[in-house]
Amino acid sequence: MKPARILFVCLGNICRSPLAEGILRQQAGETRREVTVDSAGTGGWHLGNAPDPRSIAVAERHGIDIGQQRCRRVEQTDFERFDLIFGMDHGNVEQLRLLAPPPAQTRIHLFLDYALGTALDVPDPYYSGVDGFETVYTMLSDGCSSLIGRLDERFS
């Protein structure tokens, strides 16, 4: 079984993509699907920081520890190192398309479009309350379990 190399990308790399990284790592462990998973942001406001405390808290409520992750920005080498690069929303995908060289364009997808076949954004919860983070958690968790099924089809 080939390990799929997956990069989740959002704007700040402190709310959505670190959560996605933690959820996929946990679900992959439970299903014995080998993955390399990482996350990054297109913006550089929080470089080196831990995830937002609200993302750490929602992950913790679901038994996942994301506290050791550190914020980083998308780099050019990411476009060679990862098989699938998922933007959380349409804006992230647009930014990724501007940054990526031509051969990597086909690796870039809107996450829920690839995972669930619904071209929905995972909304930015930065200015929302706890409910926003729970909603994001549910969307990411549903997306990740469906994604693992797709990986079994493609990386076997």
State in angstroms the smallest separation of the CB of 110 from ligand 4NP.
Answer: 14
Q: How far is the CB of 16 from ligand 4NP (least distance, A)?
A: 3
Question: Is residue 140 near ligand 4NP by the rule CB under 6 A?
Answer: no
Among 4, 6, 7, 14, binds ligand 4NP (CB under 6 A): 14
15 binds ligand 4NP (CB under 6 A): yes
Q: Is residue 87 close enough to count as binding ligand 4NP by CB under 6 A? A: no
Q: Could you give the 3-state DSSP secondary structure of residue 99?
A: helix
Catalytic residues: 10, 16, 124
Among 126, 128, 145, 146, binds ligand 4NP (CB under 6 A): 126
Is 84 near ligand 4NP (CB under 6 A)?
no
125 neighbors 98 (Cβ within 8 angstroms): no
Residue 9 to residue 12: CA distance in whole angstroms: 9
Q: How far is CA 28 from CA 75, 97, 105, in A?
A: 25, 27, 25
Using CB under 6 A as the binding rule, the residues of this chain from 29 to 58 that contact ligand 4NP are 45
DSSP lists the bridge partners of residue 108 as 85
- How many angstroms separate the CA atoms of 91 and 26, rounded? 27
